[in-house]
Amino acid sequence: MATTGRLATFYGPGEPLRLVERPVPEPEPGAALVRISLANVCGSDLHMWRGEMDLRKLGRALPRNLGHEMCGRIAALGEGVTTDSAGAPLAVGDRVVYRYTFACGRCQACLVGMTRACPHQARHLATTCEVWPYFKGAFGDYTYLFPGHVVFKVPDALSDGMVAGINCAFSQVICGLDVARLRLGETVVIQGAGGLGIYATAAARELGAGRVIVIDGVQERLDLAAAFGADELIDLRELPTPEGRIERVKALTEGWGAHVVMDLAGSIGAIPEGLQMVGNGGRYVEIGNISPDMTFPMDPARLIPRNVSFLPVGFYEPSHLQQALDLMLRTRDRYPYDRVVSDVFPLDQVNEVLAEQDKGRITRAALAP
């Protein structure tokens, strides 16, 4: 194994990321080191890069090794790590997917099994990437899995391009649908057909949704949503106003509205619009808006009598990562998972890739070290 590796460091919005060389860390007991195969550019990476998401307000340090949606191969195992989280033997060279946060296992949230609400899960990001073990993100040659990590071996039938989106986008929407308690036959509206929205379409289908309606304004994304099982597409170019789109959802649901609406768009205006698409007794799942200080007007009197739930969902449980991997394996011939990542670039083009995806010229790019 090499003694040093490259990682892309982010100093703040407007500043180009720099590729630096750092010593390859040796895993402590209970930890693991992964050689990254593929790292996707997730919407939240762009929120940070643009400066919409002020990392310091979230207690995160700069400079930071950017990226978190990825897959790789085990490069080294710390003492005591002999199996993956499903109990299968784990060895150097195995292809893996893994959770990118590290719940403490001993706080009140962890104790009741809601590890996604653990306040300590991102404590490694409270220090900069200048602090050991340096490789704390996805845009680099390695990533360090701290003790308490969750890791699953990847079956050979799934390519790196297929599984790179599992540890953020796919697991995230499966958790969202779990929190929403989607029932058989229900109608789901998905706002935004980026990576999250595409995976949510397939997941809702497989969980038994009766009808999946996807909203977006980019042709490529709408086409992909259709390939992932969307029954109805609402094109922002054809229906440019919230009123028109709300009316369309109502028309598609016999005037009732949807049972579940998911914000996977990441634009604040999607929320008041989406809440009006929810039928009485329905659930609104909020995943997309993660930038601090973006607010929207809410009129509780229009939600309370209708018993509409507003459900923010951040991160996910280990079981959702396993479910995402299993679901992808089982349905790999039904959905074109290999089409979610549109373009792959070398790591040293990280700045160009962020700029291109920001302009919307690329749907979801990936970096291969």
Q: What is the DSSP pairing of strand 365-368 with strand 343-346? A: parallel
Sequence-distant (6+) residues with CB within 8 A of 200 are 173, 176, 177, 188, 190, 262, 264
- CB closer to Zn ion, 42 vs 129: 42
- CB closer to Zn ion, 42 vs 325: 42
| Minimum CB distance to Zn ion, residue 325 (Å) | 17
By the rule CB under 5 A, 303 interacts with Zn ion: no
| Residue the block writes with tokens 């930890």 | 31
Q: How far apart, in whole angstroms, are the C-alpha atoms of residue 74 and residue 89?
A: 12
Determine the straight-line distance between the first and last CA of the chain, rounded to whole angstroms. 15
By the rule CB under 5 A, 48 interacts with Zn ion: no
Given 31, 32, 36, 42, the residue binding Zn ion (CB under 5 A): 42
- How big is the site for Zn ion, counted in residues (CB under 5 A)? 9
The dihedrals phi and psi of 33, each to the nearest 5 degrees, come to -115, 135
The dihedrals phi and psi of 302, each to the nearest 5 degrees, come to -95, -5
By the rule CB under 5 A, 246 interacts with Zn ion: no
Residue 274 and residue 215 in contact, taking contact as beta carbons nearer than 8 Å: no
By the rule CB under 5 A, 118 interacts with Zn ion: yes
Contact window for Zn ion (CB under 5 A) among 110-118, 201-209, 228-236, 281-289: 110-118
| Minimum CB distance to Zn ion, residue 270 (Å) | 17
- CB closer to Zn ion, 94 vs 263: 263
Given 76, 90, 97, 110, the residue binding Zn ion (CB under 5 A): 110
Q: How far apart, in whole angstroms, are the C-alpha atoms of residue 239 and residue 236?
A: 5
| Minimum CB distance to Zn ion, residue 117 (Å) | 8
Given 58, 104, 290, 329, the residue binding Zn ion (CB under 5 A): 104
Q: How far apart, in whole angstroms, are the C-alpha atoms of residue 2 and residue 225?
A: 41
| Minimum CB distance to Zn ion, residue 304 (Å) | 32
Q: How far apart, in whole angstroms, are the C-alpha atoms of residue 186 and residue 308?
A: 15
**Three-state secondary-structure class, residue 63:** coil
Sequence-distant (6+) residues with CB within 8 A of 215 are 189, 190, 191, 192, 193, 233, 234, 236, 245, 265
Does an H or E element contain 265, and which? none
- CB closer to Zn ion, 71 vs 213: 71
| Minimum CB distance to Zn ion, residue 81 (Å) | 20
Q: Which structure tokens are listed for 45? A: 């990476």
Residue type, 356: E
- CB closer to Zn ion, 195 vs 229: 195
Total residues found in the chain within this entry: 369
By the rule CB under 5 A, 107 interacts with Zn ion: yes
Contact window for Zn ion (CB under 5 A) among 34-42, 90-98, 158-166, 322-330: 34-42
Given 37, 44, 143, 201, the residue binding Zn ion (CB under 5 A): 44
| Residue the block writes with tokens 């005037």 | 255
| Minimum CB distance to Zn ion, residue 200 (Å) | 14
- CB closer to Zn ion, 17 vs 249: 17
Given 154, 168, 204, 262, the residue binding Zn ion (CB under 5 A): 168
| Minimum CB distance to Zn ion, residue 114 (Å) | 9
Q: What is the DSSP pairing of strand 95-98 with strand 211-216? A: unpaired
Which residues are at the interface with Zn ion (CB under 5 A)? 42, 44, 69, 103-104, 107, 110, 118, 168
